[in-house]
Structure 1
């Protein structure tokens, strides 16, 4: 490993704008006709739900009346109804409750929190380039860790750690090219993904960080070329918390030119 190289890549990633957008869930976790979804981001409670027509809504997760946790409420015909005293929210401003901008990219749901991000806001998040939706499969995994988002990004930007700490998954890893600066800021590696003890799938992959809390691994050559693994690090706690925690939301969007792949 080359710590200075990883530190420089992390510094460049941290300087890129996010527009105050944070990944909070998989798109399928916020369902039309389903219950509200709650997530804590940077110490702020957030609630999300969909209207009867499927429109995504987001806002503070605390009821403006007496502070009930709205994630425990219910959605009635697309309206969020507080389970304490029945205050109804249709997604627009009401009684001191102000909605947050939200965006569904088809795989993940993002929420813009200007008070948490502290940057110049943008209309939409920076969504990584992915395989075309019609021929791709996606899966999303969410975990939590006692760390800061920068720790997650640094970990994912370290291509060497996979061979050292995850030999059951990666073998024959060779770094072909390291980042050369802002205009060529990618780690390129040759690596084989272990399927069984004797069966591996060799690919060439690129690791990039399009934003301060996102790392993308894209298969450039080999089986599944164009497929991506996105790692999004969303802070759970506020910046002043002495025991920071982070939600790691990882999305795999896989494609293949093999016949019948999308039907598998």
Structure 2
């Protein structure tokens, strides 16, 4: 941590001259060409609780319902009851079985009367669902989960916002590191792109930046931005305080492809790590302090 001098927002660098549209567009094209296996992030793992109510999500115009069995195993499938189309997100979970609130039809997560479950994956931080009809790619057994700090060694938080845009707009925004200290001066200062992507073999924006703590106190780090699949951008701290910490941005389409007014869920997962002694206390207190 260091104390920095005062600076003028309007005269900072880098400027628009360094933020080359062609470079960003090429990085976006490479990201979009990578396989996703038809997996989509639908939210935080902790949002789907054992013994709790089901969760309803919309992905690419498809209604999805998620819940957990009595042993905590994740279940997912179409959001409409196969009987008369009741919204299953409003139903109840009884002993790990989803019971429709209209007529009591019970679903244990297996196929039933035309209701076919969706493949689902819980990576410990986020929940993913595979929708082959929406993705249109060759399906894969597991999603492309970014590398994170060792399990049990970090503190995670997940935030979701919805924007009127397409997933590619979100990815393009995250693959433009130059805008960071201009558009987010309350968080980032002294940003420099140390190295742009070199192509598929080394496709990362390497950035030197300081995170603003409070007032003029900042934490300088080196970070890299990568896109492991078409709807994910990862910022990973590689040097400095919090090394190995990641901020993942996942862009999940809510509307069907070609919608006149597309909407996208932006799911941001932060997994923070630190070698400081006090961080262990913060990690232990996280379940109590987390909203």
1:167 pairs with 2:185? yes
Aligned counterpart, 2:129: 111
Report the Cα offset of residue 26 of structure 1.
0.3
Distance in 2, matches of 1:8 and 1:238, equals 25
CA offsets per residue over residues 35-83 of structure 1, 9 Å max, x none? 0001000000000000011010000001111111100101000000001
Distance in 2 (CA, whole Å) between partners of 1:12 and 1:2 is 16
**1:199 paired residue number:** 217
Residues 125-163 of structure 1 deviation map (CA, whole Å, 9 limit, x = unaligned): 010000012111000000100000000000001000111
Query: What is the deviation of 1:260?
Result: 3.2
1:59-208 correspondence to structure 2 within 5 Å: 59-208=77-226
Q: TM-score, normalised by structure 1?
A: 0.99
Q: CA deviation at 1:164?
A: 1.2
**d(CA) in 2 for partners of 1:148, 1:15:** 16
* 1:2 CA drift (Å): 1.1
Q: Per-residue deviation at 1:198?
A: 1.1
> Match for residue 73 of structure 2?
55
Q: Can you give the 5+ residue segments of structure 2 that lack an aligned partner in the other structure?
A: 1-18, 283-291
In structure 1, stretches of 5+ residues that fail to align are none
Give the conservation status (yes or no) of the 8 Å contact 1:201–1:223: yes
State the shift of 1:95 in Å: 1.2
Contact 1:45–1:62 (CA under 8 A) maintained in structure 2:
yes
C-alpha deviation, 1:262, in angstroms: 3.0
Q: Tell me, in whole angstroms, the C-alpha distance in 2 between the residues paired with 1:202 and 1:73.
A: 49
Report the aligned-residue RMSD: 0.6
Query: 2:42 corresponds to which residue?
Result: 24
For 1:231 and 1:46, locate their aligned partners in 2 and report how far apart those are by CA, in whole Å: 21
- TM-score normalised over the length of structure 2: 0.90
SS at 1:40's partner residue?
strand
> Could you tell me which of 205, 223, 229 is aligned with 2:247?
229
The yes-or-no answer on 1:12 pairing with 2:30 is yes
